[in-house]
Amino acid sequence: MPDLSDAASMVSLRAAGPEDAAAIAALKVICWRAAYKGLMPEVSLESLDADDETPHWHDWLMDGNAGLLAHLLWREGDLIGYGLAGPMRLGDRPEREIEADGELYALYIHPDEQRRGNGQMLLSSLIEAMKGRGYKSVGAWMIGGNLRAERFYLKLGAQEVGKRVEIHQGRIAYREKSWIWSDLTKLLARLTIRSV
pLDDT (tens digit, 9 = 90+) per residue, 94-125?
566 788 999 999 999 999 999 999 999 999 99
Long-range contacts of the stretch 133-137 (C-beta < 8 A, 24+): 133/67, 133/69, 135/101, 135/102, 135/184, 136/101, 136/102, 136/183, 136/184, 137/99, 137/100, 137/101, 137/102, 137/180, 137/181, 137/182, 137/183, 137/184
pTM for the full predicted model: 0.86
Mean pLDDT estimate for the chain = 87
Residue 100 region, left (φ>0) first, then alpha (ψ -120 to 50), else beta?
beta
pLDDT tens digits along 6-17: 444 688 999 999
Third-level CATH fold of 4-195: Aminopeptidase (3.40.630)
**Residue % of the chain over a pLDDT of 70:** 86
Q: Please report the pLDDT score of residue 80 as a whole number.
A: 97
pLDDT tens digits along 119-173: 999 999 999 999 999 999 999 999 888 889 999 999 999 999 988 776 665 566 6
- In the chain, where are the structural domains located? 4-195
72: Cβ contacts below 8 Å, ≥ 6 apart:
13, 14, 15, 16, 20, 23, 24, 79, 81, 82
C-alpha dihedral, 193 to 162 to 149 to 102, nearest 10°: -60
Residue 195 reports pLDDT greater than 60: no
Whether the Cβ atoms of residue 127 and residue 158 lie closer than 8 Å to each other? no
